[in-house]
Each structure stands twice: as C-alpha cells, then as structure tokens.
Chains A and B, each alone.
Chain A
Amino acid sequence: MRDSLRRVNGGSVATHALLSLGALVMVFPFLWQLLTALKTLPEAVHVPTTFLPRQWNWGSFKEVFTALPYGEMLGNSLINTAGRTAGQLVFCSLAAYAFARMRFRGKNVLFALFLSVLLVPSSLLILPQYDIIQRLGLLNSPPALFLPGMFSAFGTFMLRQFFLSLPRELEEAARIDGAGPFRIFWSIMLPLIRPALAALAVITAMWSWNDLLWPLVVNTDPAKMPISAGLTSLEGQFETNYPVMMAGSLIASLPMIVLYLFLQRHFVQGIAQSGAKG
C-alpha cells in the first residue's frame, strides 16, 4: 500500500509538470493579450519584443470605447444573450414537458419534425431567415439578433430527458388535488429540473454571446451589432493599433469567462448533455 502510494506521488510530479505546461499554453494567449493592451503602440510593435510593459498604459481600454460604438455593442450582445436565453428557457421547457409527460395525438410525428431541426446545419437556413427578418422589417434591430435563436431543438431535447426522469407520483397527487396542466408544469415539475435549466441557460448564453455569422448578416449597422461582429469592424479600422484591438477583445470576452468561472458546474453539465451547437 505504502509502496503504491509512493509510486503515485512520484508519477504525480511528472503529471503536474505536463498538465501545467498544457495549462500555460491554454492561458498564455490571454496573458499576452493583456500585456499588449497595456503597452503603448510603439512598444507593442517594438522589435525585439518586451515582455512586461515598460510603462503601464491603461489608455487603450478607454480608447476602444471612442473608436467604436463599443458600449452600444456590448449592450446589443447583452440583449441578444438575454433574449435568446429567456426565449429558450420558456419555449423549450414548455414543449419538452409536453413531449415528456403528456399524451396527445400526433406526438411522434411532431417529435420527428422537431428532430429534423436539430440535424440541419445553421448556415443552410441563413438566406431564408434573413429574408424573413427583412420582410418583418427587423433588419438592424435588437430582435433580429435573437429571434430565430429563441427556438431550439437541442434545448427541447435536453429538457425532455430531465422531465422523463421525474417520478410520476407528484404529478398524480397534484392532479387529484385539482391542479390544471399549466399549474402542475409551473409549480411542481419546472422547479424540479432547475439544474437542467441552469445548464441550458449558461450554454445558450455562451453560444449567443459568441455567435458571429448570424449577427454579421442581419445587423450591419455598427450601433446595432453585438460585440462579436463589432470586434471584426475594429479589426478593419484599427488594423495596426494592436493595443486597442487587444483591449477591445479582452473586454468582449471577459463576461463569458467570468460567467464560466462562477458557474462552472452548469457549463460542464451543459456540455456533457449537449455536444452539438444549439
């Protein structure tokens, strides 16, 4: 026993060394991003490269807000993320509950139809989706960003799995007490799948915040773009102002990193549950 313990410890030094090296590779680009953002432009492009800034310059973090409608873009990202996440939680949980716990005519056909949505790559649908948004007069508006993304087949399937696993006695007791279907759903069943709702919420928030292709297509006005698309225009205008670009991308990625650090457990559960993009 003691012998095997020592062997584990001996091996664990090498293990930690390898894992730390890997972790450094994963985190280093962000560190470099921060260090560049804190340098002045001449220092950032100075050869040979300096590692730490000679003078710590916080100006780029301010400059990015004047170089672009950066505050608005962050706001648009927030609206997009909130809209999609709220929509998915409401719509997916309702449908998931019906598919998991209710019997009705045409259930299998409808379910198969829902499945087909899951299988089609999103790029295939962008042209007609753009067309619909345009006809609704919503181009360059906040709802354009989140409208199609509020409906998710993946979210429905994920929540359905959780509803299926609940005991049926609770539902029956409530029914005997005279509770209607909506009341049973809202006050009894929905609270029981809270962990699944949290997992769906953080994963959806991440996909929404990070989404690029759809926002590039529907909202081309800089003041209406989310930050993901906005950063690409920063790249266009400020091709050579690296500190500003790095400051901008750092601020833009921070909300998701912070969210992740606080809600890791739900992220992990969401990933374990998902796989494909939703």
Chain B
Amino acid sequence: MAVFPSTAAAEAEGRSRKPRTKAGREGTTRGPNSRTQKAAYVFIAPIGLGFLLFYLWPMLQTFGFSFTHFGPFGGNTWTGGENYARVLQDVTVWRAIGNTLLYGAIGLLTLPLSIAVAALLNRRGLRGVAVYRALYFIPFVTLPVAVGLVWNWLYNGNFGLLNEVLSWFGVSRHFWASDPSTALWAIGVVAVWQSVGYYLIIFIAGIKGIPQDYYEAAELDGAGPVRRFFTITIPLLSPSIFFAAVICVINSLQMFDLIYVMMSPMNPALGSTQSVVSLFYQWAFQQNNQGAAAALAFLLMLLTAALTFLQFRLQKKWVHYA
C-alpha cells in the first residue's frame, strides 16, 4: 500500500522545501514540518482507505473479472479475451450500444430547450424568475422511480391521459411505452423533461456572466432580440454549452433508472429500449453472467471516454472563450 507513505513523513522534511512561490495558493508560509505532514495524512486517511476499498481495488478487480469465467461456487477460471470476443459478437450488445447512443442524442435535445428557457428568464425586468426556476427544477429532484411510474401511467395504452388528450385531435390509441417503435422515445421524452431544470441552472449562471454592455451596444446598432440571442448569447454561452454537453452525454450513457422502472421484464419493447447499463444489470445480477458483464462495463467506460475525448477535440471548432 504505497498510496499512503506515512512512514515517509519523517524523511520528507528536507526534500519538500520547495520554492515559496506556490505557498500563497497552498495557504502556508512555513515549510511543512513533520507535525503538519502527519496531520495531513491523518486527514486524508479515512477517505483514502474508503477509496482504496470501494473504488480503486474494485477498479482493478472489474478488470480482472472481465477476463474470467465465473464458476458456480466461486471457481473462477481465466479465459483471456473470451468475454470481450463474446460481448462484441452479441447482437443484444450492439443493440444496447445503439440505444444508448440514441439516448445520448435525445438527451442533447434538452440543451436547446434549457437555453431557450434560460434566455426567456433573462429578459430585463421579468418578474417571478425564482418561481419559474423552482417549478422547472422540481422534476429533477423528484425520485426517478416515481417519475417513471407517473409517466408510465400517462403513457398507458388503455387508461392513459396522453391517449385521451390525443383522441381529441383524432389520434388513435397507442401503447407508447410498450410498442418497440415508440418506447425508446417515450423514455427519452421523460429523460428530457426531467433534466431541463438542471441544465437551466447551468445556463442561467452562464448568461448572467455575459456583460450587459454587449447587449446595449447591439441594441444601439439596431439588433433585435433574436439577433442578439444568436450573435451574443449563444457564442458567449458556448463554454457553458460545452460543459453541459459533456455532462449530458456522460449521464445519458449511464441511463438505467427510467428504463428499469418503465420497462417490466415482460414488456415487448424491452429489447429496443435497453441501455448498456440495464443490460449490464441483467447479465450481472439476473443471469449470473458476471464475467461478460464486467467486459460490457469496460466497453461502456471506453465508449464514454471516447465520446468525451471527441467532444474536447471538437470544442476548438465552436467554443469561444472570452
């Protein structure tokens, strides 16, 4: 456990007398003495041990799991890359990856919606901003399971309110959440609805950071509200948009709760809505297929890393830092 070299504290005295230039940020003017060094390790130890046990060690273990076959009585056998080969050949995996990417794409639709609401809330002299913000945010704090149950009830093919309302417009009854062709979108709508308020908060903060002078200058030049929105708000908000997009993609790739709640095991649309994480859950805890599940989890991590990396690369093309 070289992670906590507390024994090294004593010999650290001499080596850590670095130039004092960093001291201002670090908050100490004196060089570290062995007492503060020891205290620092004591301060870090509780969470450090927690991380070791519950995060760092499991990281290594999952990696190990992904190369083993789980026997019935703990008799795990090393199988090399077999799990990965199996996972990559499995049609359900590719379907789940496709679904997950689609959830990500649908999730991104939340951003323009929240930006529009944030821009409306930013109008000068608008009253009730706090009330609107509170109302839009409530779905986000609500128990996701409860959210899924309510929406399933709204979507219900027999008694659902959605069908009732649509029937006024002559749309015929539809089982939104159990028809394979609409179920993923039905879940996606709920995900968007749920997270609008969250991104709204990020964008309100971003818009507040834009100097008012720009708007006044543009107004003097005769730019209308729409023009001002596209030439000032959007470009200057782009760092916030970028941040939100990264978070949004990461969160969408982890889709699980809504799918688990809205899709019962008998639902005919299960296969066409299953995400990588829900497939992982099914394999790991319902079908006792841990080795393959671990491999699947690793693929998800690679996918997340790849998409995040891609976003950081593309950032240079559209994000403006003032």
Q: Which residues of A contact B (CB under 8 A)?
A: 5, 8-9, 11-12, 15-16, 18-19, 22-23, 25-27, 29-30, 32-33, 36, 44-49, 90-92, 94-95, 97-107, 110, 113-114, 116-117, 120-129, 131-132, 147-148, 150-151, 153, 156, 163-164, 166, 168, 171-172, 180-182, 185, 206, 209-210, 212-213, 216-217, 227-229, 231-232, 235-236, 239, 242, 245-246, 249-250, 252-253, 256-257, 259-261, 264, 267-268, 271-272, 275-277
Contact = CB atoms under 8 A, between A and B. Distances in A.
B44 A253 contact: no
B159 A212 contact: no
B154 A29 contact: yes
Nearest to A228: B145
Contacts of A116: 56, 59
A12 B123 contact: yes
A121 B304 contact: yes
Contacts of A172: 29
Interface residues of B, number: 104
A168 B62 contact: no
Nearest to A258: B141
A212 B123 contact: no
18 contacts: A8-B123, A12-B126, A95-B43, A95-B47, A99-B44, A100-B27, A104-B16, A105-B8, A120-B59, A122-B254, A181-B35, A228-B143, A231-B261, A235-B264, A242-B153, A256-B142, A260-B137, A260-B141
Interface string B239-271: 000010001001101101100110010000000
B27 A124 contact: no
Interface string B29-40: 101100111011
Given A120-B59, A127-B293, A212-B144, A272 B201 contact: yes
A124 B301 contact: yes
Interface stretch (B87-95, B277-285, B311-319): B277-285
B307 interface: no
Contacts of A127: 58, 61-62, 65, 284, 290, 293-294, 297
Given A105-B5, A127-B62, 15 more contacts: A12-B126, A29-B147, A32-B150, A91-B47, A104-B16, A117-B56, A124-B301, A125-B62, A127-B297, A171-B27, A212-B261, A235-B261, A236-B264, A249-B145, A268-B133
Given A27-B138, A91-B46, A148 B54 contact: yes
Nearest to A163: B27
A206 B198 CA distance: 13
A245 B153 contact: yes
Given A15-B126, A90-B46, A127-B290, A246 B150 contact: yes
If over half of A's interface residues share one DSSP class (helix, strand or loop), that class is named, otherwise mixed; here it is helix
B280 A246 contact: no
Contacts of B151: 29
B143 A168 contact: no
Contact of B250 (A105, A125, A212, A276): A276
B146 interface: yes
Interface string B181-193: 0000000000001
B223 interface: no
Contact of B32 (A32, A102, A113, A217): A102
Contact of B28 (A9, A102, A212, A259): A102
A242 to B, nearest CB: 6
Given A27-B135, A123-B297, A260-B138, A212 B201 contact: no
B73 to A, nearest CB: 14
B139 A113 contact: no
B159 A168 contact: no
Given A22-B136, A213-B281, A249 B143 contact: yes
A19 B132 contact: yes
B102 interface: no
A249 B149 CA distance: 8
Closest CB pairs A-B (n = 6): A151-B50, A249-B146, A128-B58, A181-B39, A98-B43, A128-B61
Given A12-B125, A110-B44, A256 B143 contact: yes
B301 A212 contact: no
